[in-house]
């Protein structure tokens, strides 16, 4: 499909061997692994052979609140560690970088609180020469457009999770569909705002619940129609 980078999910027992097999099959592929906190500082020592596989990064090997352990683990690896779930606000990024807990940061707008928070983390990392990349959470076209806008900032120097519309959706809720360019990039819209418009017909078709945020007169609470 033209994607230039592959991320492998790993866990104890399905890590080094699987990654070695992919590397043998695709010697020049941009490759990274994501552990989703599957290891401890002690068990992560089993991942040291990954240093010989020319990986872009090892993502979130330890628990999200283990910044200190990540800093100790990074000292053992040549491959950069990347934090994902550990970073939910700019202050977490600052703490992680000051501790040496990672050399790369994954910024997901949906996880860190939106574009303004994502920009703040980008700027903080850029000031410290720490590269970032834009993660994804299977966003529809609206969220995908927001991710694209963020990922166009200069310190997003690593391939991100932003995919073409048809990678996950037969139909999106925006009038515009994102496609993959031959060089494995996606073009940032140049229209005002996020550069996309809602397909209101699609929104209606896929709506399963409605919320009325106006306060009711008797209880002062919002109402929901499902």
Q: What is the CATH number of the domain that holds 126?
A: 3.20.20.120
Q: Is residue 209, in this structure, part of any structural domain at all?
A: no
**153-170, pLDDT tens digit by residue?**
999 999 999 889 999 899
**50-59, pLDDT tens digit by residue?**
999 999 999 9
Q: Is residue 186, in this structure, part of any structural domain at all?
A: yes
Q: Is residue 92, in this structure, part of any structural domain at all?
A: yes
**30-86, pLDDT tens digit by residue?**
999 999 999 999 999 999 999 999 999 999 999 999 999 999 999 999 999 999 999
**List 7, 11, 75, 108, catalytic entry:** 108
d(CA 166, CA 172): 8
- Domain around 163: 5-198
Q: Is residue 222, in this structure, part of any structural domain at all?
A: no
Q: Is residue 211, in this structure, part of any structural domain at all?
A: no
Pairing of strands 210-212, 223-225: antiparallel
3-state secondary structure (DSSP) of residue 223: strand
Number of compact structural domains in the chain: 1
- State pTM to two decimals: 0.89
Measured between alpha carbons, how far is residue 51 from residues 20, 33, 45, 57, 215 in Å?
11, 12, 11, 10, 57
Q: Is 7 a catalytic residue?
A: no
Q: Is residue 212, in this structure, part of any structural domain at all?
A: no
Return the residue matching tokens 């989703």.
36
pLDDT surpassing 70 at residue 217: no
Q: Is residue 137, in this structure, part of any structural domain at all?
A: yes
**List 7, 9, 75, 214, catalytic entry:** 9
Confidence of residue 219 (pLDDT cuts 50, 70, 90): low
d(CA 17, CA 42): 19
Q: Is 108 a catalytic residue?
A: yes
Q: Is residue 220, in this structure, part of any structural domain at all?
A: no
């Amino acid at each position: 499909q033209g994607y230039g980078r592959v991320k492998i999910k790993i866990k104890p027992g399905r890590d080094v061997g699987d990654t070695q097999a992919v590397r043998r099959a695709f010697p020049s592929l941009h490759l990274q692994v994501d552990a989703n906190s599957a290891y401890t500082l002690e068990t992560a020592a089993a991942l040291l052979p990954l240093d010989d596989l020319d990986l872009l990064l090892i993502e979130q090997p330890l628990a999200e609140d283990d910044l200190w352990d990540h800093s100790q683990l990074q000292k053992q690896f040549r491959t950069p560690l990347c934090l994902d779930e550990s970073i939910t606000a700019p202050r977490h990024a600052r703490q992680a970088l000051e501790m040496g807990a990672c050399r790369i940061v994954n910024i997901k707008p949906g996880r860190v609180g939106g574009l303004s928070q994502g920009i703040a983390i980008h700027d903080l990392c850029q000031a410290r020469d720490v590269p970032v990349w834009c993660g994804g959470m299977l966003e529809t076209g609206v969220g995908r457009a927001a991710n694209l806008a963020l990922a166009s900032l200069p310190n997003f120097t690593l391939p991100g999770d932003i995919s073409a519309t048809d990678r996950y959706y037969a139909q999106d809720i925006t009038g515009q569909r994102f496609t993959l360019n031959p060089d494995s990039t996606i073009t940032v819209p140049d229209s005002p705002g996020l550069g996309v418009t809602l397909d209101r017909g699609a929104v209606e078709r896929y709506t399963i619940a409605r919320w009325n945020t106006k306060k009711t007169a008797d209880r002062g609470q919002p109402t929901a129609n499902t």
